[in-house]
Amino acid sequence: MAIKLFSIIFFIETVNCQFQCKFDRPILGEYYSYENGLETHTSFKKNGNIDRLFYRRESGRGATANIITVLDNHALGECVYLNWKENPFRHVSKHHYQLIYRDKTKSCYQCFEIYNRTHNILQIRKSECDEVTSISTNQMNIQDLCLTINEEAEFDTLFLKTYSAEECRATIYGTYHFTYEFREGGIGICDNSISRLVSCPDPGTPFDAVNERFWMTYGYCRNLVSSIDAQPLYQCLGHWFNEKGDIFTAIANERVGSERWYDKFRCMLTRQDQPQWFAKSLFAECARLYSPTDGP
């Protein structure tokens, strides 16, 4: 007797649902991001309201004018449905909150996929705002709305304004000489002997001391107009892995005040198999970091 065996696999997805949302950590808070060329300030309020302000940067008037920000758009909405989606057969980086957002001005609905990367970082992908009047009357299927989000779509990275530093040692540790290049607008690699990255606990502290910050000293190269002379002090805001093995680290420049969010937050990308290379973003975003050697 020939017996053919069939294996049956049940894919179990954990879903915790919540209607009439009330936000708590890790979503609750005030965030800064850089989205589609606009400085974006997002507030997830405890009562479920979501307030988003979008500013564009412009040159001020006059001979000594500085860059100014001008309000481009103000989006006010609310969360009407929130659940947590976790599939044990998918990489942990795929677990996320699914949020249905109602725009109070346009009366349309939008699906947000919210990925909690660290205590300080959210990453979001969104559907288009679909003009329906009611979810409760089944005029819009929640899953259908969320399925319109392309799985290959880039993330918007939201940095918590009231952040707290996290351990750096897992991704950046030691003292290194580095060379650097700005791919956008740069014309070559700057190799100055004083360029150093220092990520170590303060002198005299034990090895297992928390290591939450690092220095970068950029040496200037005379023949490269894109090179700089600077020494930022960064705090680590946490790191996360994707299913490809890329390691992302969010950082905040402690030498930049809260009035300059545009200059404060950055993202870095490295890999465990390429620890000698990393790419760093030019803005508060991670989307254009493709590999440790491919970034702006």
pLDDT in tens, 103-128: 998 888 999 999 999 999 999 999 98
With respect to residue 168, please indicate whether it lies within any of the assigned structural domains: no
| Cβ 99 vs Cβ 81: under 8 Å | yes
Write the CA distances from 163 to 36, 122, 159, 274, integer angstroms.
Answer: 23, 12, 8, 28
* 47 in any annotated domain: yes
pLDDT band at 223 (very low <50, low <70, confident <90, very high): confident
Is residue 191, in this structure, part of any structural domain at all? yes
Q: Is 58 inside a domain boundary?
A: yes
Per-residue pLDDT tens digits for 32-80: 999 999 999 999 999 999 999 999 988 765 444 467 789 899 999 999 9
Residue 290 lies in a domain: no
Contact call for residues 121 and 83 (beta carbons, < 8 A): no
The mean of the pLDDT values for the chain is 84
Two structure tokens written together for 269: 């990308």
pLDDT bin (cut points 50, 70, 90) of residue 11 is very low
Query: Which tokens in the block code for residue 161?
Result: 């304004």
Asked whether residue 146 falls in the same domain as residue 193, the answer is no
pLDDT(151) > 80: yes
What total of structural domains would you count in the chain? 2
Residues 49 and 153 in one domain: yes
Please give the helix or strand (H or E) that residue 263 lies within, else none. Answer: helix 261-264
Stretch 148-169: mean pLDDT: 92
Q: Does residue 181 form part of some domain?
A: yes
Q: Taking the model in full, what pTM does it have? A: 0.86
pLDDT of residue 142: 72
Is residue 2 in a domain? Answer: no
Judgement on whether residues 237 and 125 belong to the same structural domain of the protein: no
Span 178-196, average pLDDT: 84
Whether residue 241 has pLDDT greater than 80:
yes
**Do 107 and 219 sit in the same domain of this protein?**
no
- Establish if 72 belongs to a structural domain: yes
Please check whether residues 67 and 92 belong to one and the same domain.
Answer: yes
**pLDDT band of 136, cuts 50, 70, 90:** low
* 145: helix, strand or coil: helix
**Together in a domain, 187 and 103:** no
Return the percentage of the chain with pLDDT > 90, whole number: 51
Q: Which domain holds residue 236?
A: 174-280
